[in-house]
A = this chain, B = another copy of it.
């Protein structure tokens, strides 16, 4: 197992970032030790603290290195969408999703940063999630505003939830395309990024455009209402159907 790059003249710092990125994505941040990282990078254990101060510093550097260009590309594509006059939802969806999928494709077999981000979004109680959220804040604000403009009449709460759903579908896809293969027994091909982009784009665009029938007419919401456990007056808590407060 070579690990260390020899083709391009990379310094120890970049070797560490590369190895950390790859191992974090493969094994998870908490389960990846500095010894494993430095061994994979062909560096000394203490080099992490020499360059990054601590493990958390290394984690922060791994994310910062990629998020800058990624979000810049997203905002660039967003602005391009906003020049066209009928502001198309499919364009917004693609502007948000495509850079990640492109990164996913470019990384094939190497760094897996996209998967790392997908994971980080699901990690609770961790510094990492807050870090990722902070990196995404501007993107979130700009995109939700654009979606709100493209969908006049849809309340902000609805916009935010749908954005939440979109992030989930994308993060889950980025985090584990191999999982799709596990589901399908090999029918899905994670390497087909162009197809994946089209499929995900169509799915999400349709979701964004979904008609909003309000409270679902009481008869339709569930084919049958009486099933055992929960009906026993237990936690009825919220009033029916949707919007309170």
Q: With A165-B173, A169-B165 as given contacts, are A238 and B199 in contact (CB-CB < 8 Å)? A: no
- Choose, from A12-20, A37-45, A52-60, A211-219, the stretch at the interface: A211-219
Q: Mark A197-218, 1 if CB is under 8 A from B, else 0.
A: 0111011111111111101100
Q: Is A123 at the interface (CB under 8 A from chain B)?
A: yes
Q: Could you tell me which A residues sit within 8 Å of B by CB distance? A: 25-28, 30-31, 73, 76-77, 80-81, 84, 91, 94, 98, 102, 105-106, 108-109, 115, 118-119, 121-126, 129, 133, 140, 144, 156-158, 160-173, 175-176, 178-180, 182-184, 187-189, 191-196, 198-200, 202-213, 215-216, 221-224, 227-230, 234-238, 240-245
A230 to B77, CA, bound (A): 14
Q: Per DSSP, are chain A's interface residues mostly helix, strand or loop, or mixed?
A: helix
| Closest residue of B by beta carbon distance from A108 | B245
